[in-house]
Structure 1
Amino acid sequence: MSAKIYDYTKICESVLLIDPKIRFAGVINERGRLVAGGMRENVEPLESEKDDEMIFMELALRVKMRKEFDKQLGLVNFAMASRERALAISVLINDDILYVVSEPDSDYGILPKKILEIVHS
Structure 2
Amino acid sequence: MPAKIFDYPAICKTVLSLDQKIRFAGVINERGRLVAGGMKENVEPLESEKDDEMIFMELALRVKMRKEFDKQLGRVNFALASRERALAISFLVNDDILYVVSEPDADYGVLPKKILQIINA
* TM-score interval, normalised by the smaller of the two chains: over 0.9
Aligned to 1:12, the other structure's residue is in SS state helix
Query: 1:90 corresponds to which residue?
Result: 90
Question: Normalising to structure 1: TM-score of the pair?
Answer: 1.00
In the alignment of these two chains, the number of paired residues is 121
Equivalent residue runs for 1:74-89 within 5 Å: 74-89=74-89
Alignment of 1:27 with 2:58, yes or no, is: no
Runs of 4+ residues over 6 Å off in structure 1: none
Aligned to 2:31, the other structure's residue is in SS state coil
Aligned to 1:76, the other structure's residue is in SS state coil
Give per-residue Cα distances to partners, 1:38-95, cap 9 Å, x unaligned. Answer: 0000000000000000000000000000000000000000000000000000000000
Query: 2:118 corresponds to which residue?
Result: 118
Query: 2:101 corresponds to which residue?
Result: 101
Letter in 2 for 1:7: D
Aligned to 1:90, the other structure's residue is in SS state strand
Query: Using the alignment, how far apart are the partners of 2:17 and 2:53 within structure 1?
Result: 25
Equivalent residue runs for 1:3-42 within 5 Å: 3-42=3-42
Query: Using the alignment, how far apart are the partners of 2:110 and 2:65 within structure 1?
Result: 26
Query: Using the alignment, how far apart are the partners of 2:16 and 2:23 within structure 1?
Result: 8
